[in-house]
Amino acid sequence: MEAPELVALLAGRRVAVLTGAGMSTDSGIPDYRGPDSPPSNPMTIRQFTSDPVFRRRYWARNHLGWRHMDDTQPNAGHRALAALERAGVVTGVITQNVDLLHTKAGSERVIDLHGTYARVICLQCHRTMSRASLADLLEAANPGFSDRAAAVGGIAVAPDADAVVADTSSFRIVDCPSCGGMLKPDIVYFGENVPKERVDEAYSLVDGAEALLVAGSSLTVYSGFRFVRHASAKGIPVAIINRGHTRGDDLATVKIDNGCSPMLALLADELPAAGATLTR
């Protein structure tokens, strides 16, 4: 497999990386918008906060799905980006994913743009707790639920740590132990804004780089696409690796229609040698 134009563009440059759900498909987490993805309706913040039935269904599904995401392991693409960071090529990763796989792979500068599945926040007092701690509370409130759900069929995990569960009508949700407020995964849902300081940190990462590499994102959501627009406006070259069309194709210097893992593994082999004279 060769992608000489991609290697030529990135060689000798310090590279900021933006990743999306296509980055994690090889780890068994499905993509929302890939060409082979089933139809999916991601959670909106309005649904979560305004509909008690919807919220109960969400927590029941998440109670099962987060455990599968917690067990998921990084793939070759995640490991390649971590290796490129150690080699001084990659300056950091902005990820739209909530799966923590970049961190598990060893990447050190990771901006979790949309939060992570592993933490929960109270919408009233804003205290946080680990998802594992909430799991204990939910299990105590719903003894045997996990075993019963697993017994009636397989559990399919979605990109936001959701899972498919047939019957959630008897599931009991848990409120904030501190104030009794509504608990929510510390994830930015559709209709919410990414915290400004997080966005500013991501812009700073792009500004300090000499190229932006997009891996596994259709860039449909503006929260990721804005960094491609920003890089392009500043004259920073943009490379995109993604299966299928992306919203940023017209702004890309190089577009590779391929999977992330093989292409990033190739870059991990080629770029450190090609960029041996990088200015640190």
Encoded tokens for 89: 């090529």
248 is in an annotated binding site: no
In whole angstroms, what is the distance from residue 7 CA to residue 277 CA?
A: 15
96 is in an annotated binding site: yes
260 is in an annotated binding site: yes
| Active-site residue (options: 63, 78, 102, 114) | 114
87 is in an annotated binding site: no
Cα 258 to Cα 55, 172, 208: the distances in Å are 37, 43, 27
Encoded tokens for 225: 């696409």
In whole angstroms, what is the distance from residue 95 CA to residue 257 CA?
A: 19
Q: For residue 171, give the 3-state DSSP assignment.
A: coil
129 is in an annotated binding site: no
20 is in an annotated binding site: yes
Cα 5 to Cα 67, 99, 277: the distances in Å are 40, 31, 19
38 is in an annotated binding site: yes
Q: For residue 207, give the 3-state DSSP assignment.
A: helix
Encoded tokens for 76: 């070759």
DSSP state of 215: E
In whole angstroms, what is the distance from residue 196 CA to residue 233 CA?
A: 20
Known catalytic residue: 102?
no
With contact defined as beta carbons under 8 Å apart, do 26 and 76 qualify? yes
120 is in an annotated binding site: no
Partnered with residue 79 across adjacent β-strands are none
33 is in an annotated binding site: yes
50 is in an annotated binding site: no
97 is in an annotated binding site: yes
Binding site residue list? 20-40, 96-99, 122, 125, 176, 179, 216-218, 242-244, 260
Residues of each annotated binding site for NAD(+): 20-40, 96-99, 216-218, 242-244, 260
Active site residues: 114
